[in-house]
Amino acid sequence: MPEYPTTCDCTEVATTKFLPYDLRTVPEDIRKRAKVELFEDEETRVNSLRLLKSMLNEEKDLNWEPNDLFLMAFLRARKFDVKRAFNMMRTYYTIKATHKELYDDFNFDDVVDSLQDDVVGFLPYRDEEGCAILVLKATKWVPQENPMSTIMRNVTTGLLEAIRSNATQIAGFKVIVDVSGLTMKHLPHMSPTYLWLFAEALQNCFPARFRAVHVVNEGHLFTYVWSCLKQLLTKKLRDRFHFHGKNVTKLHKYFAPAILPAEYGGELPPYSNKDWVKKFQQSADYISNQYKYGYRSKGVKN
């Protein structure tokens, strides 16, 4: 894999202390974190990629994505433990093969259309640690229009776009989950299967560093959902969940108001994913191509 890119088309880098979501370069402090936290350097990148590709070539009936940056996401998510990165890739492709309702018949334009509901998106700026901030808003979710399978697909494709950034792969993600408006009409759509898939993505499947999940506006109904979900999470992951209730300004302990939307006591306009969707659309070919890879029929990992 070549060295980090050294160019960035984001003028915001020079005008604010908060890095933009759309970051094409790796700032020096994030490079240092890669070395300290992930044990990453040029030699490690080259050798680990070579070994991972060799292992993937031996995997029966797997048509795998050869893009170095995509493979690097798995290596970074497992701190360059190549065997663990390989196992994560097997799990990733196995879930694609066994949950065809999420991944078959993929149409990028359908994803873009369904993203207009504002349920899934990213804030325009990163936090002080350089983490990209994923926002999930249940209050915007109409299950009759976009079932849970669509929401899961949108989250997956959104994350696929996000990990095209070296900086995001290194610094990781933080998530704000706004469950205001969650009602009994949503509950039948939040099946144990989807809770399990969500837990798997956080822990074992998706190649990303999930640093924290912040839940706001939760009520009694979400308490029930959490009681089910937490049983599927390791203690390490459970400890990364933070619950703020109706007092959304508690988020300010973790995120500067300068990068938060107005509804969370922030200084930005009310949340909208429109700018992010425009950025997302630029990755149409890349994301559509991702759905062509996977296990061939009976080659699925047992």
pLDDT digits (tens, 9 = 90+) for 225-250: 999 999 999 999 999 999 999 999 99
Whether pLDDT at 114 is above 90: yes
- Model confidence over 57-87: pLDDT tens digits? 999 899 999 999 999 999 999 999 999 999 9
**pLDDT band, very low/low/confident/very high, at 103 (cuts 50, 70, 90):** confident
Question: Which range has the worst mean pLDDT, 35-39, 100-104, 105-109?
Answer: 100-104
Residues 6+ apart with CB under 8 A from 74: 52, 85, 86, 88, 89, 92, 207
Secondary structure of the chain in the HEC alphabet?
CCCCCCCCCCCHHHHCCCCECCCCCCCHHHHHHHHHHHCCCHHHHHHHHHHHHHHHHCCCCEECCCCHHHHHHHHHHCCCCHHHHHHHHHHHHHHHHHCHHHHCCCCHHHHHHHHHHCCEEECCECCCCCCEEEEEEHHHCCCCCCCHHHHHHHHHHHHHHHCCCHHHHHHCEEEEEECCCCCCCCHHHCCHHHHHHHHHHHHHHCCCCEEEEEEECCCHHHHHHHHHHHHHCCHHHHCCEEECCCCHHHHHHCCCHHHCEHHHCCCECCCCCHHHHHHHHCCHHHHHHHCCCEECHHHCCC
* Cβ–Cβ < 8 Å for 48, 1: no
Question: In what side-by-side order are the strands of the sheet with 120-122?
Answer: 120-122, 132-137, 173-178, 210-216, 241-243
Whether pLDDT at 14 is above 70: no
Averaged pLDDT of the chain: 91
pTM score above 0.85: yes
Which pLDDT belongs to residue 6?
A: 34
**pLDDT band, very low/low/confident/very high, at 277 (cuts 50, 70, 90):** very high
**pLDDT band, very low/low/confident/very high, at 16 (cuts 50, 70, 90):** low
Share of the chain above pLDDT 70, in %: 93
Distance CA 105, CA 23 (A): 31
Which pLDDT belongs to residue 299?
A: 47
Distance CA 187, CA 159 (A): 24
Whether pLDDT at 120 is above 50: yes
Which pLDDT belongs to residue 297?
A: 67
As given in the structure block, the two tokens for residue 33 are: 């974190």
Q: Which residues pair with 20 in a beta bridge?
A: 125
- Positive or negative CA dihedral for 27, 39, 286, 91? negative
- 296: left (phi > 0), else alpha (psi -120 to 50), else beta? beta
- Model confidence over 131-154: pLDDT tens digits? 999 999 998 899 999 999 999 999
Q: Exposed, middle or buried, 119 (CB in 10 Å: 0-12/13-18/19+)? A: buried
Which pLDDT belongs to residue 7?
A: 34
* Cβ–Cβ < 8 Å for 291, 106: yes
Average confidence (pLDDT) over 199-223: 94
**pLDDT band, very low/low/confident/very high, at 3 (cuts 50, 70, 90):** very low
The residue with tokens 């991944």 is: 103
